[in-house]
A and B are shown apart, each in its own frame.
Chain A
Amino acid sequence: MTATVILPAVLRPAAGGLGRIPVEADSVGAALDQLAREWPLLERRLRDERGRLRQHVRLYLEADDISDLAGMATPLPEGSRLHVIPAVSGGC
Chain B
Amino acid sequence: MEYMTVVRESEMSEVVLLIGTRKGVVVARSDQAGSDWRLRPLQLIMSEVYGVGIDTRGGRLRLFAGAANPHWGPTVVHSDDLGESWSETDAAPIAFPEDTEAALIRVWQIQAASDREPGVVYAGVEPHALFRSEDGGISFELVRGLFDHPHRPEWAPGNGGACLHTVLPHPTDPQRMLVALSAGGVYRTFDGGATWEAANSGIQAYWMPEEERFPEFGQCVHKLAQHPDHPERVYAQNHFGVYRSDDYGTSWHPIESGLPSTFGFTVLAHPGDPETAFIFPLQADSERMPPDRACRIYRTRDGGASWHPLGRGLPQSGYHSAVLRDGMCTDFGDPAGVYFGTRNGEVFATRDAGESWELVAEHLPDVLSVRAAVVA
**What distance in Å separates the Cβ of A23 from its nearest Cβ neighbour in chain B?**
18
Q: Considering only CB atoms, which chain B residue lies closest to A48 in the complex?
A: B103
Task: Give every chain A residue within 8 A of B104 (Cβ-Cβ).
Answer: 48-49
Which size class do B's interface residues fall under?
A: 10 to 19
Which of B70, B73, B88, B90 contacts A48, CB < 8 Å? B73
Render B80-91 as a binary contact track against A, CB cut-off 8 A, 1 for contact: 000000001011
Render B83-106 as a binary contact track against A, CB cut-off 8 A, 1 for contact: 000001011100110100111100
> Number of residues in A with C-beta < 8 Å to the partner?
17
A52 part of interface (Cβ distance < 8 Å): yes
Segment at the B interface, from A24-32, A37-45, A61-69, A71-79? A37-45
Task: Give every chain B residue within 8 A of A86 (Cβ-Cβ).
Answer: 71
* Given A44-B75, A44-B95, A54-B72: 13 more A-B contacts, CB < 8 Å: A39-B90, A40-B90, A40-B92, A41-B90, A44-B73, A45-B71, A48-B73, A49-B92, A49-B98, A54-B73, A56-B70, A56-B71, A57-B71
Q: Considering only CB atoms, which chain A residue lies closest to B91 in the complex?
A: A40
Which of A40, A48, A54 contacts B71, CB < 8 Å? A54
Q: Are B92 and A44 in contact (CB under 8 A)?
A: yes
Task: Give every chain B residue within 8 A of A54 (Cβ-Cβ).
Answer: 71-73
**What distance in Å separates the Cβ of B108 from its nearest Cβ neighbour in chain A?**
17
- C-alpha gap A41/B95 in the complex (Å): 13
- A residues lining the B interface (CB < 8 Å): 11, 39-41, 44-46, 48-50, 52, 54, 56-57, 86-87, 90
- C-alpha gap A52/B101 in the complex (Å): 11
Q: Are A49 and B96 in contact (CB under 8 A)?
A: yes
Which of B70, B72, B88, B95 contacts A49, CB < 8 Å? B95
Q: Are B90 and A52 in contact (CB under 8 A)?
A: no
Q: Are B90 and A50 in contact (CB under 8 A)?
A: no
Q: Are A87 and B71 in contact (CB under 8 A)?
A: yes
Q: Are A90 and B72 in contact (CB under 8 A)?
A: no
Q: Are A50 and B70 in contact (CB under 8 A)?
A: no
Task: Give every chain A residue within 8 A of B103 (Cβ-Cβ).
Answer: 48-50, 52
- C-alpha gap A57/B259 in the complex (Å): 46
Task: Give every chain A residue within 8 A of B75 (Cβ-Cβ).
Answer: 44
- C-alpha gap A48/B95 in the complex (Å): 9
Q: Are A45 and B70 in contact (CB under 8 A)?
A: no
Q: Are B101 and A50 in contact (CB under 8 A)?
A: yes
Q: Considering only CB atoms, which chain B residue lies closest to A87 in the complex?
A: B71
- C-alpha gap A46/B104 in the complex (Å): 13
**What distance in Å separates the Cβ of A90 from its nearest Cβ neighbour in chain B?**
5
Task: Give every chain A residue within 8 A of B70 (Cβ-Cβ).
Answer: 56, 90
